[in-house]
Chains A and B, each alone.
Chain A
Amino acid sequence: MRTIGRIAVNVFRESVRDKVLYNLVLFAILMIGAGYLLGQLTAGQDYKIVIDLGLGAMSLFGLFIAVFIGIGLVSKEVERRSIYGLLSKPIHRYQLVLGKYVGLVFTLVVNVSIMAIGLYAVMHYVAWQFPPEFVATWDVPPSDLRILKAVGLILVELSVVTAIALFFSTFSTPILSAAFTFALWIAGHFSTDLRNFDQVVQSPFAAQFARGLYWVLPNLSTFDVKGQVVHGRPVEAGFVLLAVAYGLTYIAVLLIGAVTIFSRRDFK
């Protein structure tokens, strides 16, 4: 456990050194710009759009970090041949894979947490420009903690995407890993269509095949409650718990796959 922790801390340090957290500057500029400019364009909907933009940016920036760092976690070590040095130390291969994964997820947690604080700050700034009695009628007050449900589920989705990227990076090249991960991410958002494929095709085989894909591919739309929280609509605790449990299970499957492949890989 301690070894995994040390590897994770190193991954986090490396991502800081690689200026991954610079995306926070871009996020800050985006949010400040949105808070200032949107009022001119949106007929009073700047607050709603600021929340949409904040949650969307968290998800999108996180996706790029998860994919582009995730695909290099293992393959970079192999490319640089530093893998030989690492494996000659008393480290199990599974510890290396898990450490790398935990390190990147920790980077994402830090990243998304800072963005969430930034989003709340901009929400308060926008609300501050209106009379309190006006703000009291809004669906989502500036201190509404329900936003955190969306933030939490974004993090779970990013953790799944990181696991996908890591899984592919254990046996494929970085470019192919990125392509596979993005493809799965897109497919993961089409899951409802796969589920209802029987309504648009005649062939029972095609319908069954699509239904099979629906069960096997990651259902990433499960983690998307941005549209609900931005209108202050309820997101039940049971739904969140099931989504988190599903995410953790899927991550476990991918990590077991990644560890198995990486353990059998020959680096000669």
Chain B
Amino acid sequence: MVAVAALMTLAVRLQRERDDRYPPPETTEETLYLTSGGALQRLSLGYRSLAADVYWIRAIQHFGGTRQHIYSPGQPAATPQAEGSEPYRLLYPLLDLTTTLDPYFKAAYRFGSIFLAEPYPGGPGRPDLAIALLEKGLAVEPDNWEYMQDIGFVHYWWDHDYQAAGAWFAKAADAPDAPWWMRSMAAVTLASGGNRQSSRTMWQSIAQSATVEYQRNHAQRALVQLDALDQIDVLRPIVERFVRETGMPARDWQTLARAGAIRGTPVDPTGVPYRIQPDGSIDVDQASPLYPLPKEPQRTGARP
């Protein structure tokens, strides 16, 4: 027993020595060996649901790992092109395989669409794929109001297509088991889509009806982003007045504080200072958990 313990300790030390002298690569490139859902269905034999779980965990690891890599210190969150390769490239294939293996995997459709629609650097910024994934779910469960709500939501929040969003919310309201507030959400979207208050109402409904913590956290983050947009609306005229009165560009908050325009450095609801952009506009810092803020919904962006 003592010999086994001693040899095991020796093995661990040797491994550590080897790692120190010849460090293994920090990251290995992720690869998807099997890309055909049909082949995977066959290979998983009687364990399709379990295989779907494995692919779901891989999708989360890929999404989280890529985000962590992009947001890590020394990694400027710039454009997808600046990353050298296409980040999040495996996200959709992984979610597609997950839902092929387990067509009733609700979380894979719903969270997957959230992941896919999130703009870079928080996600791949592919609302089209988010909608495709949800439509795949609807093909399996045509009466699922949650998928319809999510499609409407992608149109609303990322495409700013309030007509399409309202139409999907109305369709969801007609589905069996849809909550009572779905109809009013449809009406509000069609009447005043793009209005920040209607966005807030929508997110509050989602936060209250969320059945999973991630979904609720996502909605709460969006509500805080709306708070940040409100705060930016207050700061913007202050910066503009400073520029107008002094004739100097507003480069940082210290300059404004010295001139008495503000009392200190304004911070967003997460405590990270806001940033004044070179063109004088104000945004949350890239280090903020709220970055990137959604594009301010505008009716002008609506598609027919």
- B residues with a Cβ closer than 8 A to A are 42, 45-50, 52-53, 56-57, 60-61, 102, 104-107, 111, 211-215
Contacts and interface: CB of A to CB of B under 8 A. Distances in A.
B57 A42 contact: yes
Given A43-B60, A45-B53, A48-B107, A227 B102 contact: yes
Interface of A: 41-45, 48-49, 52-53, 55-56, 59-60, 134, 137-139, 157, 186, 189-190, 193, 220-221, 224, 226-228, 230-231, 233
B48 A227 contact: yes
Contacts of A231: 104-106
A101 B3 CA distance: 45
Given A43-B212, A189-B45, 5 more contacts: A42-B60, A48-B107, A52-B50, A220-B46, A227-B102
A41 B60 CA distance: 7
A228 B104 CA distance: 8
Nearest to B211: A137
A190 B42 contact: yes
Contacts of A45: 53, 56, 107
Given A42-B57, A44-B213, A190-B42, A226 B49 contact: yes
Contact of A44 (B49, B105, B212): B212
A44 B47 CA distance: 21
Nearest to A228: B104
A138 B211 CA distance: 8
16 contacts: A41-B57, A42-B53, A43-B214, A44-B107, A44-B215, A48-B105, A52-B53, A56-B47, A56-B50, A137-B211, A186-B45, A189-B45, A190-B42, A226-B47, A231-B104, A231-B106
A266 B215 CA distance: 68
Contacts of A221: 46
Given A41-B57, A41-B60, A231-B104, A52 B49 contact: yes
B279 to A, nearest CB: 37
A53 B53 contact: yes
- Taking chain B's interface residues, is the majority helix, strand, or loop, or is none over half, making it mixed? helix
A219 to B, nearest CB: 12
Contacts of B46: 59, 157, 189, 220-221, 224, 226
Nearest to A57: B50
Contacts of B106: 139, 231
A233 B104 contact: yes
A48 B53 contact: yes
A42 B49 contact: no
Given A186-B45, A190-B42, A41 B61 contact: yes
Contacts of B45: 186, 189
A242 B106 CA distance: 29
A122 to B, nearest CB: 15
Most buried by B among A43, A53, A190, A220: A43
A41 B53 CA distance: 11
Most buried by A among B45, B105, B215: B45
A56 B54 CA distance: 13
Nearest to A49: B53
A41 B54 CA distance: 10
A125 B48 CA distance: 25
A224 B46 CA distance: 6
A230 B49 contact: yes
A27 to B, nearest CB: 14
A41 B214 CA distance: 12
Contacts of A157: 46
Nearest to B53: A49
Contacts of B49: 52, 55-56, 226-227, 230
A252 to B, nearest CB: 23
Contacts of A55: 49
B138 to A, nearest CB: 16
Contact of A42 (B42, B48, B56): B56
Contacts of A186: 45
A53 B60 contact: no
Nearest to A136: B211
A53 B56 contact: no
Contacts of B105: 48, 231
A226 B61 CA distance: 25
B217 to A, nearest CB: 10
B130 to A, nearest CB: 16
A129 to B, nearest CB: 11
Nearest to A42: B57
Contacts of B56: 42, 45, 49
Contact of B211 (A48, A56, A134, A224): A134
A121 to B, nearest CB: 20
A233 to B, nearest CB: 6
B64 to A, nearest CB: 9
